[in-house]
Chain A
Amino acid sequence: MEAFHSLLSGFGVALQPVNLMWAFLGSVLGTAIGVLPGIGPALTIALLLPVTVKVAPTAAFIMFAGILYGAMYGGSTTSILLNTPGESGSMMTALEGNKMARTGRGAAALATSAIGSFVAGTLATLALTFLAPAIAELAFVFGPADYFALMLLAFTSVSVVLGSSRVRGFIALFLGLALGVVGIDGPSGQARLAFGSPDLLDGIDITVVLVSLFAIGEILYVASRFRSAPPVVNPLAGGSWMTREDWKRSWKPWLRGAAIGFPIGALPAGGTEVPTFLSYTIERRLSRHKEEFGRGAIEGVAGPEAANNSAAAGILVPLLTLGLPTSATAAVLLAAFEGYGLQPGPFLFVNSADLVWGLIASLYVGNLMLLVLNLPLVGLWVRLLLIPRPYLYGGILVFALVGIWGVGTSWMDLLLMFVIGLMGYVMRVYDFPIAPVLIGLILGPTAETQLRRALSIGEGNPAVLLSSPLSVCLIVLALAVLFLPALLRKLRTNA
């Protein structure tokens, strides 16, 4: 009941005209970047970080939430009309949705995806409303050893689940951890790996790393393998909207997708790829129209799209309650919290109740806005795809420069941008996952602090790391995650 009360006051915050304006701005921006190739929600939020320094934190996070959800809506539009999933979470949508669009059912595919996203997003936000305070409550008992074990779990799971190879996932993670130790070491005051550069004493800013990996790496990669043929957009005209039959075939996949997406998104191993894949597999098994799968089955769009959005809300659970990011977007949101001097975790719910509940309430509002923005206006969004690619990528570089030069007008940041950008290129060519770098970079220093705290409590005896049942559980889980890919591969071959 308490959560309900808090939510009501959250709506009081979210429905203020100024905050509605921020939510709208975020939704529009999010949809736009979801449609555009080369820019995702993580990059957008990272680029906006310097701008939002002047904005109140509540307003900024309401906008970020709009971007997070909006990108999901926009991403499904391109998967369906263009067969280019902007992110791994929309891969399954592209599979069936694009086939539907080719046979003149594009409008119905877009509708079931948008309405499914709305239904699942709302249900997941509801779950977040009641689950998050409970988990935050739980987190009060976490000691340093437990936090360290939790970080280990996050490290192993992002390295294993994201990407195709465990070794490359771990290399990405440790590169992030390596970047994270640069700068002055808090407890001892020692400069570590600064190589005599005063600019490196403050450490490497996550904005610099994220923008370099995502924007510069992407520009280099796409430039080197650019396909100059214009993309073929499936026509929307003439297609019929959702029929009675479509509704009947969609509503169950929506609910199942929401139910699958949220818990998996909330796990430290989270992400959106696994739940969308799972949802697709399940819908395919349960469908009475199995023969349509692979040729444009509406269930194959409805389920994964719902799972996708529901997982996006799930990602907010560990982020808000434990300060644990499980995706690149969550990592940059954590950086935003830190930028405002806020520490996500149990105390956030106590000290910044307005912000947390305003944010959660704005998720409901944003979902509704996105439904309205996307259903009737989809033709408008598709026009964004007509931007000539040279100008699109040139523009991305200019905005990346704003983001990086704006951090501290430091020449060292520009050098890092170039070097880490090249690294981003190599990682794409040799298929290294990128998100673990960011998770390592942002969680590494926290993990080190917790490790040192735990060890100083245990007077240097490493056994202290296994002193509480919770930390033992988490470490066992972290080890178990190492064996998850084998299981996933099995699922994949069965599908």
Chain B
Amino acid sequence: MSEQTPVRRPWWLGLVVVAIGALWLQQGSILPELGGYAGVRPGAFVEIVGLALIALGLVLIGQIARGVSFEPQDAENAESGARPSMRALVFAAAGAAIPLLTMRPLGFPLTAMLAFALVTHAFGSRRIVFDCAIGLLLGLGCWAGFTKLGVTLGGALPLAGV
């Protein structure tokens, strides 16, 4: 692998792990001293986890410096060696992010429709109206069916008070 392609050095990966560890360590350290049990403060375990993540992040940075290889995992329908398409990734990520904006005002069925259409677009479908229709049907079906089964999915269209 590494003979043809230049070695990837994803430094940021190690840095992110160290940063998460540091955040947990800091949050653990500001917890009050007094806990329920003798010997162990409520922050102790949090600090251990934070320290371990910092240490592991540093080891990972060391590995990256030595040029360890990162080979993407295999998945069905995916070519692990293929050049990733940023465009498709952005559309799929938009599908996962759109509920943050629309779930509360627009409700489940319309959110499902938008998310569905964005993902189908990411996978190369270009029939936007048709995809939205299928997404809306699926969203309505899921909303009605699962609400009936006792899962709380909120109103069908909260903006209109439904």
Q: List A residues at the B interface (Cβ < 8 Å).
A: 37-38, 50-51, 53-54, 78, 84, 86, 165, 167-168, 170-171, 174-175, 177-178, 181, 185, 187-190, 192-193, 216, 218-228, 231, 388-391, 393-395, 397-399, 401-402, 405-406, 408-409, 411, 414-415, 417-418, 421-422, 425-426, 428-431, 444, 448, 451-453, 455-456, 458-460
Contacts and interface: CB of A to CB of B under 8 A. Distances in A.
A398 B116 contact: yes
A452 B44 CA distance: 10
B96 A393 contact: no
Contacts of B89: 220, 223-224, 425
A174 B77 contact: no
A422 B139 CA distance: 23
B19 to A, nearest CB: 12
Given A37-B76, A177-B49, A224 B86 contact: yes
Contacts of B151: 50-51, 402, 406
A54 to B, nearest CB: 4
Contacts of B99: 401, 405, 414, 417
Interface in B103-137: 103-104, 108, 111-112, 115-117, 119-125, 131, 134-135
Given A397-B96, A415-B100, A451-B40, A405 B153 contact: yes
Contacts of A402: 108, 142, 146, 151, 153
Nearest to B126: A390
18 contacts: A38-B76, A53-B150, A187-B42, A188-B36, A222-B76, A223-B123, A224-B86, A225-B75, A225-B82, A226-B85, A227-B79, A390-B119, A391-B125, A394-B95, A395-B116, A398-B115, A401-B115, A460-B40
Contacts of A165: 63, 68
Contacts of B45: 181, 448, 451
B54 to A, nearest CB: 10
Contact of A406 (B10, B82, B152): B152
5 closest cross-chain pairs (CB), A and B: A460-B39, A37-B76, A187-B36, A390-B123, A223-B92
A220 B123 contact: no
Nearest to B89: A224
B49 to A, nearest CB: 5
B124 A227 contact: no
A455 B59 CA distance: 30
B67 interface: no
Contacts of A54: 149-150
Contact of B56 (A167, A225, A399): A167
A397 B117 CA distance: 10
B82 to A, nearest CB: 5
A457 B74 CA distance: 47
A175 B42 contact: no
Nearest to A433: B73
Contacts of B88: 223-224, 226
A178 B53 contact: yes
A401 B86 CA distance: 23
Interface string B19-58: 0110010011001101111111111011001101100110
B53 A174 contact: yes
Contact of B135 (A50, A394, A451, A456): A394
A409 B154 contact: yes
Nearest to B20: A178
A422 B119 contact: no
Contacts of A181: 24, 45-46, 49
A179 to B, nearest CB: 10
B161 interface: no
A214 to B, nearest CB: 11
A389 B123 contact: yes
Given A51-B150, A456-B37, A224 B84 contact: yes
Given A53-B150, A390-B131, A401-B112, A395 B138 contact: yes
